Structure 1
Amino acid sequence: MAEEPEEPGKSFVIFGRDVAQIPCFRNSFLYGISGGIGIGVLTFLGTSRTHLSTHVGFGSFFCGTIAYWVACRYQWSVRRFEQQQLREAMRRQALYEGTQVERDLDLKSA
């Protein structure tokens, strides 16, 4: 029996967008799911009320996912902005290298 090769580019698409390409998506949901399950189980162990524990578990999943998403995307945006600034500074350094502008900048920074 011949095995079919698996597709290496297989991904999950929501609303026409590949979620594997969205920064922070995977980690947000993994932390949200694990937190929701953990808090739901702890609530059930503490109260023995299934209805309450499912609501608390889902609420903590939702809040944990959103909170991690916001924090992660903020940090991602900050790093991206810093990378753009560094890229522009490196481009300017290469452009001014060996010119009078570089010498003037060196004198100002010293």
Structure 2
Amino acid sequence: MDESRFDAEEEVSRRQLNVFGRDVSQIPCFRNSFLYGISGGIAVGVATFLGTSRTRLSTHVGFSSFFIGTLGYWLVCRYQWSKRRFEYQQLKEAMLLQGLHEGTDLERKILEEA
């Protein structure tokens, strides 16, 4: 079989959406923020239309809820992602130190104090 054909198919299947020169699929929380924002905006807009039958109002309410929902989810998700990333970095450094001190007098001293 021709390997170049498989490479071309794989490249086509992995399409990228670049915004300001950055692939949005690589941005944490981007996809979920927009999915929840869009679905929430549609749901609130339709509910507003069904309740009031006013097209302009339901459009404004739907777009506003999309914007607020997307921004709110983005901020919460990015905060949690940053916090988790910081904790992983601390854990990585602690594991490195544990590996360096394993079997030494310093480790025995630390274990006696604890």
Which letter maps to 2:9?
P
Q: Distance in 2 between matches of 1:43 and 1:60?
A: 11
Displaced runs of 4 or more, over 4 A = none
Kindly state the Cα deviation for residue 10 of structure 1 after the two structures are TM-superposed. Answer: 1.5
Q: Distance in 2 between matches of 1:9 and 1:97?
A: 45
Which position in structure 1 is the counterpart of 2:21? 16
1:5 pairs, out of 9, 22, 26, with 9
- How is 1:33-72 mapped onto 2 (pairs within 5 angstroms)? 33-72=38-77
Which position in structure 1 is the counterpart of 2:37? 32
1:80 aligns with 2:91: no
Q: Which has the higher helix share?
A: 2
Which letter maps to 2:15?
K
Q: Distance in 1 between matches of 2:91 and 2:75?
A: 24
Which position in structure 1 is the counterpart of 2:4? none
Which letter maps to 1:88?
E
Q: Distance in 2 between matches of 1:96 and 1:89?
A: 10
The normalised TM-score by structure 1 is 0.93
Matched residues, percent identical?
Answer: 66
Kindly state the Cα deviation for residue 8 of structure 1 after the two structures are TM-superposed. Answer: 3.6
Which position in structure 1 is the counterpart of 2:95? 90
Q: Distance in 2 between matches of 1:51 and 1:10?
A: 36
Kindly state the Cα deviation for residue 107 of structure 1 after the two structures are TM-superposed. Answer: 0.7
Q: For structure 1, list consecutive stretches of 5 or more residues without a partner in the other structure.
A: none
Question: Tell me, what secondary structure is at the counterpart of 1:5?
Answer: helix
Which letter maps to 1:81?
F
Kindly state the Cα deviation for residue 102 of structure 1 after the two structures are TM-superposed. Answer: 0.5
Kindly state the Cα deviation for residue 59 of structure 1 after the two structures are TM-superposed. Answer: 0.2
More moved, 99-108 vs 24-33: 99-108
Number of residues of Structure 1 aligned to a counterpart in Structure 2: 106
CA RMSD of aligned residues (A): 1.1
The normalised TM-score by structure 2 is 0.89
